[in-house]
Amino acid sequence: MLNDVLLKLRAKVGDLTESIAGKLSGWLAVRDSTGFRSMELEVGGVGRQLADEVVATVLQEIVADPTLQAEASLAARQCGELRHGGTREVEVTLLGGKKVRLKRIEYVKPNRRGKPGRPRRSGNRGAGGVGIYPVLAILGIWFGVTPAVAGEVSRQVADSDSVRAGRAALARRGIDLGHKRTLRIVNKFGARAVEQRQKWLEQMRRAPLVRGVLRGKRVVVATDGGRLRERVSATRGRRNAKTGHRRYDAPWREPKLLTIYTIGEDGTIEDEFQPVYDGTLGDADAIFAMLEGYLKALGVHEAGELIFLGDGAEWIWNRVPNLVKALDLDPSDSGRVRQVIDWPHAVGVLHEIAAIPANWSEKDKQSWIRRATKCLHAGKIDALLELIDALAVGRRAKSITEHRDYFARNSERMQYVTFEEAKIPTGSGAIESAIRRVVNMRMKSNGMFWLEVNAESMLLLRSYLKAGYFDTLTDWSMATAVPWWTSRTSTHAPSTPLGVPKAV
């Protein structure tokens, strides 16, 4: 078989060589930068064409193996949820844009025999019409494209500021799938990855603690919220005569993000461990459940120090003690578990207090802020409360008292001199940067509204992309989609969406 494949490849290389020979004289005649750039792009296209011819030949040989087709189909059916559905012809798009038609590919579909469900009618396939091609699935070929195409399309659209910009960048590499198909691939790829990620995190939460990459490390955990617009379609009402769409609302939603990173003895972020980003549109309990799963997967119970860093939001600090217990750590061990209020946020509250007195000049405000900031930095919260109490008189007392409670309940989290001596970070720049890069630069543009399921997908894709785990996520997701195959064969796919961090 190897010799036959080599003969086919030599023939295709020969055809491309003849094509190049016909263009070579024109390329050699180039005498300006514009012409040379055009030549480079044309040669790049020839390279992609050659790559696609090689991939197409290899792919056709793999799927033509009757033994592999039978083994893959049998493995899929043995999971008990699928049954044989005959053979079909399938078109697959390759990384360079070439379309390959594969014939007689075995198809399996859900086993609906004896199960209740609505009857299938013309134009309404229902749940019984959804199936897979096992031999393509084990190769990671879903949605009519190869795994490299699905990964590159999802990566580029997630990295660009819009689908249109992502398509333009892909088209320069020979991948032009059209707007609807591009969006469908990204949404399906992302939605499946979100579902897989959630199942994996739940498994990590329930699994026994194991040794991880955070052993002996100084670990910083931070979480915060951003903003985006959700598209909520009306279920009733008149449809637009041209588009057929109903009106929709666009309320603000708060996606919550997390980050996990390590710092050295000097308090600076370490390069040996890639930071972890992730997010969800769920509530506070949802983001803390994700934190628990990630921290257990990374073995944070063996960390030398665990530092929680955030603003004064009560939804964060009310849940930290339970999270610490779930991680098999002692919340009373202040030498190992630290809680820190973000310094800029705390100073910002002082500025809000100073703005309340109506009869103060700018000089009075700055003078009070300097004294209050000095007390705050020194960790003298009692003295700071006295300064605040002195202002809580008359009609402004209630507003000032609300801010006073913020410092009173967070006094232990505001020992900034102690934190600085221990080289503990006191700024939440890492999570703020994550929110800006993951949410604001892609999901918060004017006129951009998100369905919840698509927003969840984009949060995951952007988070893993910006943290440097996107390729690992792609390989892990493809392998996880076929557990009936990966469980019985050796695979190079990572066992977790984070793969093997650099620290190992």
Summarised one tens digit per residue, pLDDT across range 297-339 is: 999 999 999 999 999 899 999 999 999 999 998 877 777 999 9
Q: Say yes or no: 435 and 378 in one domain.
A: no
Name which of 197-211, 389-403, 430-444 the model is least confident about. Answer: 389-403
Helix-helix angle 470-480:147-159, to 10 degrees: 140
Name which of 78-82, 229-233, 356-360, 500-504 the model is least confident about. Answer: 500-504
Q: Say yes or no: 317 and 402 in one domain.
A: no
Domain enclosing residue 94, as ranges: 66-112+129-198+469-486
Q: Is residue 449, in this structure, part of any structural domain at all?
A: yes
Q: Say yes or no: 225 and 294 in one domain.
A: yes
Q: Is residue 450, in this structure, part of any structural domain at all?
A: yes
Residue-averaged pLDDT of the chain: 90
Helices (H), 160-313: 163-171, 179-206, 284-297
Q: Say yes or no: 54 and 154 in one domain.
A: no
Q: Say yes or no: 271 and 181 in one domain.
A: no
Largest CA distance in the chain: 93
Q: Say yes or no: 319 and 256 in one domain.
A: yes
Q: Say yes or no: 351 and 337 in one domain.
A: no
When pLDDT is cut at 50, 70 and 90, the band that residue 256 belongs to is: very high
Task: Quote the pLDDT of residue 502.
Answer: 45
Q: Is residue 381, in this structure, part of any structural domain at all?
A: yes
Q: Say yes or no: 306 and 441 in one domain.
A: yes
Q: Is residue 329, in this structure, part of any structural domain at all?
A: yes
Q: Give per-residue burial for 472-503: e unless 16+ CB within 10 Å, then b.
A: bbbbbbbbbbbebbbeeeeeebbebbbbebee
The share of the chain scoring above pLDDT 90, in percent, equals 71
In angstroms, rounded to a whole number, what is the distance separating the alpha carbons of residues 150 and 148? Answer: 6
Q: Is residue 492, in this structure, part of any structural domain at all?
A: no
Q: Say yes or no: 410 and 439 in one domain.
A: no
Q: Is residue 496, in this structure, part of any structural domain at all?
A: no
When pLDDT is cut at 50, 70 and 90, the band that residue 491 belongs to is: low
Q: Say yes or no: 302 and 168 in one domain.
A: no
Q: Say yes or no: 145 and 283 in one domain.
A: no
The whole-model pTM stands at 0.90
Number of domains in the chain: 4
Q: Which of 269, 305, 271, 284 is nearest to 223 (CA)?
A: 284
Q: Is residue 500, in this structure, part of any structural domain at all?
A: no
When pLDDT is cut at 50, 70 and 90, the band that residue 504 belongs to is: very low
Q: Say yes or no: 314 and 446 in one domain.
A: yes
In angstroms, rounded to a whole number, what is the distance separating the alpha carbons of residues 175 and 94? Answer: 8
Task: Inform me whether the pLDDT recorded for 71 exceeds 70.
Answer: yes
When pLDDT is cut at 50, 70 and 90, the band that residue 109 belongs to is: confident
Q: Is residue 398, in this structure, part of any structural domain at all?
A: yes
In angstroms, rounded to a whole number, what is the distance separating the alpha carbons of residues 338 and 306? Answer: 6
Task: Inform me whether the pLDDT recorded for 96 exceeds 60.
Answer: yes
